[in-house]
Chains A and B, each alone.
Chain A
Amino acid sequence: MSPNPQPAVEVSGLVKRYGSKTAVDGLDLVQQPGTVLALLGPNGAGKTTTVEICEGFRSADDGTVRVLGLSPADESLRPRIGVMPQGGGGYPGIRAEEMLNLVAACAANPLDPKWLIEVLGLSGAVRTPYKRLSGGQQQRLSLACALIGRPELVFLDEPTAGMDPQARRLVWDLVGALKDDGVSVLLTTHLMDEAEALADDVVIIDQGRVVAQGSPSELTANRADDQQLRFRARPGLDTSLLSAALPEGLKVREATRGAYVVEGLIDPQVVSTVTSWCAQQGVLAEELTVAKRSLEDVFLELTGRELRS
């Protein structure tokens, strides 16, 4: 064994252009084997393009991509990876079990299709043609197709899009089980909670570039003074007295009606100042919490708050 195991995915300087538009603009990332990596970014950030280049569906204009140490075009890579394309895929008239049996026939040691159908809650739809399955059911079948060959590395492109909360939770559990069994998982999402719950590493991309990367806790706690104390109380309290009582550099505001936020370095003294101010006002501070920035805060800070077309 080499001291540095070969990365599951290694991308450096990746560039992809569609006409005059640069979809991926010098992207680098490394995924260690057995980890879950989330590519997080707004729509059109270049997530799917990056993943499809790794899967061998698109060619790169520049840069290098290695998947399990191989070029994505290498046919010998295909049995070793599991792919869940965005939006799934199946013959319009095929039944779920037939589709899964077909993909299972391509693998040397497939999982049991019947079992997988049941686990993914598709037992009630085994005779339904693919085109009549709901979006969420098509997604689940696609996930089953990605997993059935017992791959070393799985690419999941927006795996929970169109799924109800139960199915989403199931996918999360599955990703956890894959990781526990040593499977590397590279997924794309624009859902913060998904990235936060599943990923060992999050790579935030925007306009084809990496804007931040690290573990969810690194990304959310990179600055000690970037904390928040939140509490709820009667709306419309005059916070100027509290501002005056707090140490220099701390800001207080009523973020939404009745929801107060103190931002800065939160220490026990600050908590005490807030509660005594509330006592003076004759109100009870409810739901008082000290929190780090959420991944959503980081994401919005990096990629902007305005809507993308």
Chain B
Amino acid sequence: MTTFAPGTFKPAPGRGSLPKMLFVHARTEALLTLRNGEQILLTVIIPLALLVALSLMTVIPMPEPRVGSATARIFALAIISSAFTGQAIALGFDRRYGVLKRLAASALPRWLLVAGRVSGALAVVAIQILLLGITALILGWRFPLSGLPWVILLIILGTLSFGALGVLLGGALRAEIVLALANIVWFVLLMVGGVALSVPVGFVHLLPSAALAQALETSVVYGTAPGVGPVAVLVAWGVVAGALATRTTKLT
């Protein structure tokens, strides 16, 4: 028989400090992503390889300055990989393993459950962009620093919009279906969604992928503010996806 000193479990309930909860939750989310081999392949290795390929392989049509354009497009791809595909798959399996219910049953407020996930995702995106940016600089990218605030804003906006889309997908369907769909959508957006190449078809500009790539190209290559059009498209997708996701996301 295991005995416990009297008073060991004497109730002393209370909620932890909000900043600490947010920090520990965001750190956990980021750490789990960075520890997951498939996530690293999707969010870091493939974008890095494509950045090198688009920069050096002149058979692929790419507007000049070549490395700058490639960098902007790969930043967009990295955000889609991480915030949409990675988030959707992670959420699908987190639900399968009951972690959302587990955390919802703790003293963690519901809004913090979302805030922690968003912060974790932003931390991962920051690491991706840092690695890709350094690689791009080595490949000869000349970044007009006047674009830095815009690039940062677009990265955050892109992460939020694609994150909302990722939650919409990962929060509603079975994990295996999420896995398949999230990868297919990623591939389609990369090839014909205006990410790797600009696609001169009207409706493609209304896709969040083309909007993000186009907006980033303006700020990454020319250091100027992105056009209102692409930003409006991104915001619209994010708002609609977020509103839908709050109704459709299930804990398990």
Contact = CB atoms under 8 A, between A and B. Distances in A.
A180 B16 contact: no
Contacts of B15: 78-79, 106-108
B9 A98 contact: no
Contacts of B99: 89-92, 94
Interface of A: 55, 57, 75, 78-80, 83, 85, 87-94, 98, 101-111, 119, 130-131, 142, 145, 147, 149-152, 169-170, 173-174, 177-178, 180-183
B13 A91 contact: no
Given A85-B98, A98-B28, A105-B25, A152 B3 contact: no
B3 A173 contact: yes
Interface of B: 1-4, 6-16, 20-21, 24-25, 28, 31-32, 35-36, 93-94, 96-110, 251
A102 B10 CA distance: 21
Given A109-B14, A147-B9, 8 more contacts: A85-B101, A93-B35, A98-B28, A102-B28, A107-B16, A109-B12, A145-B102, A152-B13
A101 B24 contact: yes
6 contacts: A57-B104, A79-B13, A92-B99, A109-B13, A151-B13, A178-B9
Where chain B touches its partner, the secondary structure class is loop
A91 B94 contact: yes
Contacts of B4: 173-174, 177
Contact of A89 (B8, B11, B102): B102
Nearest to A142: B102
Given A145-B102, A169-B1, A183 B9 contact: yes
B10 A181 contact: yes
Nearest to A145: B102
A90 to B, nearest CB: 5
A87 B96 CA distance: 11
A45 B3 CA distance: 34
Contacts of B16: 104-108, 110
A111 B16 CA distance: 13
A183 B12 CA distance: 10
A181 B98 contact: no
Contacts of A107: 13-16, 106-107
Contacts of B109: 75
Contacts of B100: 89
Query: 6 shortest A-B CB distances, which residue pairs?
Result: A108-B14, A89-B102, A89-B98, A83-B105, A79-B107, A105-B24
Nearest to A83: B105
A107 B14 CA distance: 6
B106 A78 contact: yes
Given A103-B106, A107-B107, A182-B10, A119 B98 contact: no
Contacts of B11: 80, 150-152, 181-183
Contacts of A93: 32, 35-36
Contacts of A181: 6-11
A287 B1 CA distance: 27
Contacts of A94: 28, 32, 99
Contacts of B96: 92
A213 to B, nearest CB: 25
B180 to A, nearest CB: 18
Contacts of A103: 102-103, 106
B20 A105 contact: yes
Contacts of A151: 11, 13
B105 to A, nearest CB: 4
B12 A87 contact: no
B5 to A, nearest CB: 9
A145 B106 contact: yes
A66 B8 CA distance: 27
A49 to B, nearest CB: 14
A145 to B, nearest CB: 6
Contacts of A102: 24-25, 28, 103
A173 B99 CA distance: 27
